[in-house]
Structure 1
Amino acid sequence: MTHSYTPKGFQTATPYFIVQDAAKLAEFLTQAFGAVEENLMRSEEGKITHAELRVGTTILELSDAQGPFPPRTNTLHLFVEDTDSCYRKALEAGAVSLYEPGDMPYGERSAGIEDPFGNHWYLATFQRGEGKGYYEE
Structure 2
Amino acid sequence: MNKIFDTYRPGGFGTVNSYLFVENPVELIDFLKAAFYAVEINRSTHPQTGNIANVILKIGTSCFMISQASGEFLNMRTAFYLYVNNVDEIHKRAVNNGAKVEFEPSDMDYGDRQSGVVDPSGNYWWISKRLIEKDYQE
**1:135: Cα distance to partner?**
5.3
**1:77: Cα distance to partner?**
0.9
Choose from 40, 44, 49 the match for 1:41. 44
Aligned length: 134
Q: Do the aligned partners of residues 111 and 103 (structure 1) sit closer, same or farther apart at CA in structure 2, a change above 3 Å counting?
A: same
**1:93: Cα distance to partner?**
1.0
Q: Which moved more, 1:42-51 or 1:108-117?
A: 42-51
Q: Give distance in 2, aligned partners of 1:80 and 1:48.
A: 29
Structure 1 residues without counterparts, runs of 5 or longer:
none
Choose from 84, 87, 97 the match for 2:88. 84
Contact 2:55 2:67 in 1 (8 A): yes
Q: Which moved more, 1:5-14 or 1:88-97?
A: 5-14
Structure 2 residues without counterparts, runs of 5 or longer:
none
Q: Give distance in 1, aligned partners of 2:61 and 2:116.
A: 20
Q: Give distance in 2, aligned partners of 1:96 and 1:62.
A: 20
Q: Give distance in 2, aligned partners of 1:59 and 1:75.
A: 15
The amino acid across from 1:109 in the alignment is R
Cα RMSD (Å)? 1.9
Percent identity over the alignment is 35
Q: Give distance in 1, aligned partners of 2:65 and 2:32.
A: 11
Alignment deviations for residues 27-85 of structure 1 (CA, whole Å, 9 cap, x no partner): 01101100000111011222110111000010021001011101010011111121000
Contact 2:21 2:69 in 1 (8 A): yes
Q: Give distance in 1, aligned partners of 2:6 and 2:91.
A: 33
Q: TM-score of the superposition, structure 2-length normalised?
A: 0.89
Choose from 17, 21, 44 the match for 1:18. 21
Q: TM-score of the superposition, structure 1-length normalised?
A: 0.90
